[in-house]
A = this chain, B = another copy of it.
Amino acid sequence: MPDNPDKPPGPLAGVTVLDLTTMLAGPYATLLLAGLGARVIKIENPNSPDPARGNSLFLGRDGVSATPEHDDDLSLAILDRGRNKEAVTLNLKHPEAHAIFMDLVRRADVVVENFSPGVTGRLGIDYARCREVNPKIVYTSISGFGPDADPTRNKAVDIVIQAMSGLMMASGAEGEPPVRVGIPIGDQAAPLFATIGTLAAVLRARATGQGQQVDVSLLGTMSALVAAEPFEMERRLGHATRSGNVLARLAPSGVFPTADGHIAISAPKDVFAAGLFRAMGRPELIQDERFSSRAARVRNHAVLHEMVGAWTGAMDAGAAAALLTECGVPNGPVRDPADAVRDPGLLARGETARLEHPVYGAVEDVVAGGLPIRMSDAFTGFDRPAVTLGASNGDVYRGLLGYGQDELERLAREGVI
């Protein structure tokens, strides 16, 4: 890949990743590896490419649309998760494909896959086979419920993972229906842990010459995050486990309405509570025995939160925030997601980023996640747009594997690639 002479290499420069993943969870893991500088080669079946290429919405020369309007429109999903990746076609079901895949494995450091259990074995590309040709290979498998799950157990999709992990019953208030979180977090936890595991295994492989399989499940990773809260123990001690927008045990803490929206305030410690009472113009409340200690504030959380809400409700969020900040009280406005991700500070730090069409550029104001990791002496981030299906066949099959042009054309004619 051409290096940009103005940027230092990424931290994973020199690491080659074969990306067999599709949809969201798998491709997000390989997207992070790409943004950290790895060479990520996305491998797709020419007859059935990554379904994300066909998911609404689409971006093309005339902007965003619900359905593709031109041949060169690309889905926002692939424009997001295809950044900084090369894309080749390979029909793994074709008898000739196996040798080609193993040619790639020989030159790679990492394989990432999220096939249903059993598929890699049937295709002859499972970890055991890959390890034979390259003992250092790190083979990362992202599954719904682990490799030994009942094969009739259904696909793990975000909403199912949110439901089964307990996440939906952690939000909202007692007696309310479950709450679906409006971002695909059930698909996002697994790729983060998969990336961590992959990098740890690559470190180990470099030290020992021996790779391994890394196994991460969607349900397991989401549940590990849910388990951060000791729900059963809270219930055992009579505390609400679903407390809506306020946090009794950290009173005064919660989300409160303002004249023009809402504001989040967190003031559990004495010094913060005192600051809050000053901001409210009620310094006498600092010594009020209902609120003068942390335990007292927790006991009287209901009336305390009512008073805070009455105060915030009478002014705009900006005015409340200014007073609170002046008094040293942790606070922040509730922002709409479309506005939040366009925060100029986030864009400047590459934590969010504008998406570009490979031909037409930033033809619409589409903002996606950036790579929210900055390094002092390495480039991190996305600087190459997604490419179309098979666009890198030449670079990879000729450039990396050394196949001749005639061979490439034959393979294409015969449906191998």
Contacts and interface: CB of A to CB of B under 8 A. Distances in A.
Contacts of A225: 183, 185, 188, 369
A312 B189 CA distance: 29
Contacts of A162: 264
A372 B234 CA distance: 24
Given A237-B66, A262-B177, A242 B182 contact: yes
A244 B180 CA distance: 7
A221 to B, nearest CB: 4
Interface string A204-224: 101100101111110111011
A390 B349 CA distance: 38
Nearest to A221: B372
Q: Which of A28, A149, A224, A237 has the most CB of B within 10 A?
A: A224
Contacts of A337: 165-167, 169-170, 226-227, 229, 231, 241
A171 B243 CA distance: 16
Interface residues of A, number: 147
A166 to B, nearest CB: 3
Contacts of A155: 266, 330
A6 to B, nearest CB: 18
Contacts of A124: none
A228 B376 contact: no
Interface string A238-254: 00011111010100011
Nearest to A159: B264
B334 A369 contact: no
A164 B333 contact: yes
A366 B370 CA distance: 37
A105 to B, nearest CB: 16
A244 B151 CA distance: 31
Interface string A1-39: 000000000111111000000001000100010001000
Contacts of A374: 214-216
Interface in A364-417: 364-378, 380
11 contacts: A160-B330, A163-B335, A170-B181, A183-B225, A188-B225, A199-B200, A199-B203, A215-B375, A220-B346, A220-B351, A224-B351
Given A12-B200, A145-B345, A170-B182, 7 more contacts: A57-B234, A154-B329, A164-B332, A166-B335, A170-B181, A203-B203, A224-B371
Contacts of A265: 159
A365 B232 contact: yes
Interface in A25-61: 28, 32, 36, 56-57
Q: Which of A127, A189, A234, A332 has the most CB of B within 10 A?
A: A332
A352 interface: yes
Nearest to A263: B163
Contacts of A230: 57, 64, 76, 366-368
